[in-house]
């Protein structure tokens, strides 16, 4: 709606002293025509007074009926004597039920400012506007159905962008979920309880499982090493022969293999620390080592 | 790789092992609840190494050493470290005799001549660096220069006690001095309530002179210990795998971050300034060999290394200054982490 901007600077005729106190009155008024019964009219009035002059609240109009056809619905005031700027927001409502187009006038305002005992008045002039009558239009119809207008067809909404957005955000969500699952170790990234002995049994089989007599020293040593690493992993530290007892207390499932553990370490001692391969294989022949590794793997699977 | 034969010992070690066990048992019967310390001192005696004892006051350090001295024979001498003690105080006494004549007599170090077997320096960190320096020479060379000639102490073993309670008026042992000690043994009061009760109420433990006299003297002969120690070192075999293990341990000790070792709230990159020393690691293997001998083995196992690791290496690791105040706890944690990380074999 076009807003008519009306600039009115008035020097109020209320004495030479008062004139000097009210520096300007500016009113922003709506369009002056095209009003019907019940329409609202909004005014913004800006008054510039000298600093130190205060608006007397009693001089403001009171919300309520102004005339028999005009109500003041709302009134608000912003401003302070220190700034000298005063803004008034007024909302009128027209109740004039006219039979023809005619001009009506919103009465002016007289606002009083004071500074100590001195008074000054600001005159806001009256404002004229045109009202129009509301007339019933008699529609030509035979069937009451004709009174019903067809529904507006729904507007076409282009969904391609939305669909693309859903797909992209879905993929992103899935990726984030995958990342979270990986980070938290959720399915399918949760690790199965590690089975060092099963792994070691496979390694031992690879090293010495093929021929049953005269295993070369390095392959036998590698098989022993695979078992050592598996035992270390199970214990969570480097396990030496003196630790077998505490290991078996922590992992009681292997208790019945205590003797085999002792033989394994005795053999390992000969192989690694006495440089005596033959002695090592005498204490723990390769097939016994293989059986030991398989036995531990079996217990490991059963213990889970 | 050929098998090694252990069948031709040049020295009958099995009888010496029995003697060592008897020695441990004898000391254990009068010093209660200190089995580990007794084992370490036995190891030090059979490795001919000097020991730094650390522990609370009144935990029986002196009694322990006197008992060992009594059992291995030879003379025992003890001196208290004070801040005004000078090297000459260890070497001679000067006084006026009954006839008013000035006399100079040999001091505690020289008094017993070559028979000195255990020299106990109590509260070594109260003595001045001059005294430390003289003691270091005694430890390294087993000789002293006094009265215009060299005195030699072929069988001497130095035990020193470091007071860890006070820091006032003390002279902290320099790194070089601590490195000369073969082991640093911590002696704590026994935890077992029954042993504590006996130590408090059993009058047998109150008169240390009688307590020590009640045991057999000279169970082993201190004059033969050097030869036995050499035989032990010669006869306990260290395989290439074990040698590799020890070298890796040293590397892990000096560069723990490279081996993935972590200690809570410690920046591993800057923790260690100097970790071990060739001498320290040689002492480690020396002590481990004696431990293997005491266990009745002629091969060195990683268990032996682990058992003596902290006592022989822990005090040789020097930390960044911001961690040095926590040296004891951190070196224990570091040693434990290194042993738990480095694989053997």
**ipTM score:** 0.79
Residue in B with minimal Cα distance to A266: B301
Residue of B303, B306, B345 with shortest CB distance to A272: B345
Output the pLDDT for position A213.
59
In angstroms, the separation between the Cα of residue A229 and the nearest Cα of chain B is 8
Task: Look at A240 and B306 and tell me if their CB atoms are within 8 Å.
Answer: yes
| Chain A residues near any Cβ of chain B (below 8 Å) | 217, 224-225, 228-229, 232, 237-238, 240-242, 268-269, 271-279
Output the pLDDT for position B7.
40
Q: In what side-by-side order are the strands of the sheet with A109-115?
A: A54-55, A109-115, A118-124
Does position A272 have pLDDT exceeding 60, yes or no?
Answer: yes
CA B256/CA B333 separation, integer angstroms: 12
List chain B residues with CB under 8 Å of A237. 340
In angstroms, the separation between the Cα of residue A215 and the nearest Cα of chain B is 15
Output the pLDDT for position A2.
40
For A50-157, strand residue ranges (E) read 54-55, 64-65, 70-79, 85-94, 102-106, 109-115, 118-124, 127-131
Mean pLDDT value across chain A: 84
Residue in B with minimal Cα distance to A238: B340
Domain ranges of chain A: 5-131, 196-303
- Reply yes or no: is the peptide bond before residue B36 cis, omega within 30 of 0: no
In angstroms, the separation between the Cα of residue A190 and the nearest Cα of chain B is 24
CATH class of B236-341: mainly alpha
Residue in B with minimal Cα distance to A225: B345
In angstroms, the separation between the Cα of residue A167 and the nearest Cα of chain B is 44
Output the pLDDT for position A148.
79
Task: Look at A269 and B299 and tell me if their CB atoms are within 8 Å.
Answer: yes
Domain with CATH 3.40.50.300 in chain B: 13-83+115-227
* Among A227, A232, A275, the residue to mutate for chain B (most B Cβ within 10 A): A275
Output the pLDDT for position B112.
84
Q: What confidence tier does A131 reach under pLDDT thresholds 50, 70, 90?
A: very high
Least confident of A86-90, A205-209, B226-230: A205-209
Does position A90 have pLDDT exceeding 90, yes or no?
Answer: yes
Residue of A225, A229, A240 with shortest CB distance to B303: A240
Q: Which residues pair with A35 in a beta bridge?
A: A131
Task: Look at A224 and B345 and tell me if their CB atoms are within 8 Å.
Answer: yes
Per CATH, the number for B13-83+115-227 is: 3.40.50.300
CA A211/CA A229 separation, integer angstroms: 23
Residue in B with minimal Cα distance to A216: B1
Domain with CATH 1.10.8.80 in chain B: 236-341
The answer to whether residues A51 and A83 touch, using CB atoms and an 8 Å cutoff, is yes
Tens-digit pLDDT string for chain B (345 aa): 333 334 434 567 888 888 888 888 888 888 888 888 899 999 998 888 898 888 877 888 888 888 888 888 888 888 888 888 888 888 888 889 889 888 888 888 888 888 888 888 888 888 888 888 888 888 888 888 888 888 888 888 888 888 777 767 778 777 777 888 889 888 888 888 888 888 888 888 888 888 888 877 777 888 888 888 888 888 888 888 889 999 998 888 888 888 888 888 878 778 888 767 888 889 999 999 999 999 888 888 898 998 888 888 888 888 888 887 787 788 888 888 888 888 888
Burial (CB count <10 Å: 0-12, 13-18, 19+), residue A222: middle
Residue of A237, A268, A274 with shortest CB distance to B4: A274
The answer to whether residues B182 and B282 touch, using CB atoms and an 8 Å cutoff, is no
In angstroms, the separation between the Cα of residue B183 and the nearest Cα of chain A is 23
Output the pLDDT for position A78.
92
Q: What confidence tier does A304 reach under pLDDT thresholds 50, 70, 90?
A: low
Residue in A with minimal Cα distance to B302: A240
- Identify which of A107, A36, A97, A95 has the alpha carbon closest to the alpha carbon of residue A68: A95
Sign of CA dihedral B120, B124, B128, B132: positive
List chain A residues with CB under 8 Å of B240. 275
Residue in A with minimal Cα distance to B344: A238
Other residues' Cβ atoms within 10 Å of the Cβ of residue A264: 24
Q: Average pLDDT, stretch A34-56? A: 92
Output the pLDDT for position B9.
44
Output the pLDDT for position A40.
93
Query: What distance lies between CA A218 and its chain's CA centroid?
Result: 63
Q: Average pLDDT, stretch A171-193? A: 84
Quick one: CATH architecture of A5-131?
A: Sandwich (2.60)
- Identify which of A105, A113, A109, A104 has the alpha carbon closest to the alpha carbon of residue A89: A109
Output the pLDDT for position B11.
64
List chain A residues with CB under 8 Å of B248. none
- Reply yes or no: is the peptide bond before residue A188 cis, omega within 30 of 0: yes
List chain B residues with CB under 8 Å of A242. 303
Task: Look at A240 and B239 and tell me if their CB atoms are within 8 Å.
Answer: no
Higher per-residue confidence, A212 vs A39: A39
The answer to whether residues B311 and B305 touch, using CB atoms and an 8 Å cutoff, is no
> Reduced to 3 states, what is the DSSP secondary structure of residue B170?
coil
Task: Look at A274 and B3 and tell me if their CB atoms are within 8 Å.
Answer: yes
Residue in A with minimal Cα distance to B345: A272
| Chain B residues near any Cβ of chain A (below 8 Å) | 1-4, 237-242, 299-303, 306, 339-345
């Amino acid at each position: 709606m076009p807003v008519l901007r009306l600039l009115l600077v008035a020097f109020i005729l209320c004495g030479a002293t008062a004139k000097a106190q009210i520096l300007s009155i500016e009113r922003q008024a709506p369009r002056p025509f095209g009003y019907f019964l019940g329409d609202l009219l909004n005014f913004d009035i800006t008054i510039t007074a000298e600093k130190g002059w205060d608006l007397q609240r009693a001089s403001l109009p009171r919300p309520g009926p102004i005339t028999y056809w005009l109500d003041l619905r709302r009134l608000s005031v912003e401003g302070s004597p220190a700034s000298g700027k005063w803004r008034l927001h007024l909302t009128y409502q027209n109740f004039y039920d006219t039979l023809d187009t005619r001009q009506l006038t919103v009465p002016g305002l007289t606002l009083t400012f004071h500074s100590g005992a001195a008074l000054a008045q600001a005159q806001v002039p009256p404002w004229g506007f045109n009202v129009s009558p509301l007339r019933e239009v008699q529609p030509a119809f035979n069937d009451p159905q004709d009174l019903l207008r067809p529904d507006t067809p729904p507007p076409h909404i282009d969904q391609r962008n939305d669909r693309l957005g859903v797909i992209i955000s879905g993929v992103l969500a899935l990726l984030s979920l995958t990342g979270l699952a990986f980070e938290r170790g959720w399915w399918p990234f949760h690790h199965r309880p590690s089975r060092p002995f099963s792994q070691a049994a496979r390694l031992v089989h690879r090293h010495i499982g093929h021929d049953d007599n005269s295993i070369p020293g390095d392959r036998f040593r590698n098989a022993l090493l695979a078992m050592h690493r598996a035992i270390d992993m199970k214990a969570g530290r480097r396990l030496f022969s003196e630790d077998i007892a505490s290991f078996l207390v922590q992992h009681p499932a292997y208790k019945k293999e205590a003797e085999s553990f002792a033989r394994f370490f005795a053999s390992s001692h000969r192989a690694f620390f006495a440089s005596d391969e033959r002695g090592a294989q005498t204490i723990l022949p390769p097939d016994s080592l293989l059986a030991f590794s398989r036995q531990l793997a079996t217990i490991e699977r059963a213990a889970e | 790789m050929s098998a090694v034969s252990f069948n031709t010992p040049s020295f009958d070690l099995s009888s010496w092992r029995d003697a060592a066990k008897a020695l441990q048992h004898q000391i254990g019967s009068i010093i209660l609840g200190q089995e580990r310390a007794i084992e370490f001192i036995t190891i030090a005696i059979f490795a001919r190494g000097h020991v730094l004892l650390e522990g609370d006051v009144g935990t029986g350090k002196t009694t322990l050493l006197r008992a060992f001295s009594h059992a291995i024979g030879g003379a025992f001498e003890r001196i208290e470290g004070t801040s005004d003690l000078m090297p000459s105080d260890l070497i001679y006494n000067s006084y006026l005799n009954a006839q008013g004549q000035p006399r100079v007599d040999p001091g505690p170090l020289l008094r017993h001549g070559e028979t000195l077997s255990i020299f106990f320096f109590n509260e070594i960190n109260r003595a001045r660096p001059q005294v430390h320096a003289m003691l270091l020479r005694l430890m390294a060379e087993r000789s002293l220069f006094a009265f215009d000639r060299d005195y030699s102490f072929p069988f001497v073993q130095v035990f020193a006690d470091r007071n860890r309670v006070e820091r006032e008026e003390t002279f902290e042992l320099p790194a070089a001095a601590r490195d000369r000690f073969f082991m640093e043994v911590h002696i704590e009061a026994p935890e077992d309530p029954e042993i504590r009760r006996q130590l408090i109420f059993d009058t047998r433990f109150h008169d240390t002179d009688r307590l020590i006299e009640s045991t057999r003297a000279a169970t082993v002969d201190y004059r033969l210990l050097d030869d036995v120690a050499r035989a032990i070192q010669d006869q306990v075999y260290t395989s290439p795998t074990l040698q590799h293990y020890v070298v890796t341990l040293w590397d892990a000790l000096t560069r723990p971050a490279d081996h993935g070792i972590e200690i809570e709230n410690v920046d591993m990159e800057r923790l260690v300034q100097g970790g071990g020393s060739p001498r320290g690691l040689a002492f480690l293997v020396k002590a481990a060999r004696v431990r293997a001998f005491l266990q009745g083995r002629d091969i060195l196992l990683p268990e032996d290394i682990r058992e003596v690791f902290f006592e022989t290496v822990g005090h040789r690791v020097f930390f960044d200054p911001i961690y040095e105040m926590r040296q004891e706890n951190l070196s224990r944690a570091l040693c434990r982490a290194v042993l738990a990380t480095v694989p053997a074999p």
